[in-house]
């Protein structure tokens, strides 16, 4: 799978060029393109346009939380889509879309 490069936004310092795997998240009639990258011992989902973090990927093994850094890329992609789904369920679709649209235009 081909990696994309984006500038990860870090509070208080210059953006950091980061290589990531592209993922597409679809909900209702909208689709978003995100960047999945590894930072230390965890996988992170970021918005490649604004460079801001969307969520950390969480993982469990037999119901016990584990560091997501131990996941393969395929497992991390599946887990990231589950986490994004949970965020939309928690926030609501309209709020989620509005926040991402605001980040792109900011």
Backbone angles phi, psi at 94, to 5 degrees: -65, -40
How big is the chain, counted in residues?
A: 106
- 3-state secondary structure at position 22: strand
Residue 11 has pLDDT above 90, yes or no: no
| Out of 3-12, 28-37, 78-87, least confident range | 3-12
Domain residue ranges in the chain: 4-105
For residues 68-79, give the mean pLDDT: 92
Confidence of residue 72 (pLDDT cuts 50, 70, 90): very high
pLDDT score, position 104: 58
């Amino acid at each position: 799978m081909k990696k994309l490069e984006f500038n990860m936004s870090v509070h208080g310092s210059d953006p950091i060029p980061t290589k990531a795997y592209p993922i597409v998240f679809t909900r209702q009639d909208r689709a978003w393109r995100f960047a999945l990258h590894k930072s230390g011992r965890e996988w992170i989902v970021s918005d490649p346009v604004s460079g801001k973090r969307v969520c950390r990927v969480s993982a469990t093994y037999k119901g016990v939380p584990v560091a997501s850094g131990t996941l393969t890329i395929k497992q991390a992609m599946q887990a990231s889509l589950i986490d994004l789904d949970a965020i939309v369920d928690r926030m609501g679709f309209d709020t989620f879309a509005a926040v991402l649209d605001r980040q792109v235009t900011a």
